[in-house]
Amino acid sequence: MDGFTRYALYFAPPPGPLADFGAAWLGWDPRAGRRVAHIPMSGLPLPVSEITAAPRKYGFHATLKPPFRLAAQFDVGELHNAAEALASSLAPVLLDGLRVTGIGEFLALTPVGDQTRLALLTARVVEALDIFRAPPDEAELRRRRDAGLSARQEELLKAWGYPHVMEEFRFHLTLTGRLPPQTRDTVKARLDEMLEPLLPRPFRMREMSLFGEGQDGRFHLLNSYILSG
């Protein structure tokens, strides 16, 4: 697990049809740590490789604790142990399902149903593992601020190293990069059709995973932890 530039805590679908779809749609399997052929899909306004270029390096996931550099006083083994212990104290989350949703200019899978327990879980992951996070450097802060932050998002950036956590967090599994409206609508229609038989109903989040950003710039799944609290 050493040799990675950043680490993150993600939800990644367990092995099965949805995980297989995500890997083939994005063209990257973080569990196997390898590129995979894209799903052949007709009726799209752009090649799948272009539609998915932005999220590809991260793999198919929903962020719990955003990517961070490991603080100098810790090693990844300690992070792993803390994540495992934390997972043992967290209960699984049950929601009605997942659906394809437009978030700004991109598409993602988002939960259906009451997300109160999910929000509490993600806030706990952000808080409990924050001791392992090295502070962001000036270049990273500038990049976040260049996107335009509200006053509250600026507070969160200073406190947690990322502006979209706590009440600003929205659980989602990213499917595309930014797309113009007409293109986005066409892609959504095709994704709705393809994902209909694959989406879980209900959706049970039973584990979280430690990911690492490799020297290749891509994120790799390093360990998964069962939520057993």
Task: Give the CATH number for residue 189.
Answer: 3.90.1140.10
CA–CA distance from 63 to each of 43, 45, 56, 119, 181 (Å)? 30, 28, 14, 12, 25
Residue pLDDT, tens place only, 55-76: 999 999 999 999 999 999 999 9
DSSP line for 31-70: TTTEE-PPPP-SS-SS-HHHHTHHHHTT-S-EEEEEEEPB
Answer yes or no: is 152 within a domain. no
Mean pLDDT for 5-10 is 98
Answer yes or no: is 157 within a domain. no
Burial 11-44, CB ≥16 within 10 A → b, else e: bbbeeeebbbbbbbbbbbbbbebeeeebeeeeee
Mean pLDDT of the chain: 96
Answer yes or no: is 167 within a domain. no
Mean pLDDT for 166-176 is 97
Answer yes or no: is 162 within a domain. no
Q: Name the residue among 11, 9, 17 with its Cα closest to residue 204.
A: 11
| Position 147 pLDDT exceeds 90 | no
Answer yes or no: is 27 within a domain. yes
Answer yes or no: is 213 within a domain. yes
Mean pLDDT for 1-26 is 95
Domain that holds residue 208: 6-114+172-226
Specify the number of domains making up the chain. Answer: 1
Answer yes or no: is 119 within a domain. no
Residue pLDDT, tens place only, 177-201: 999 999 999 999 999 999 999 999 9
Answer yes or no: is 82 within a domain. yes
| Position 1 pLDDT exceeds 80 | no
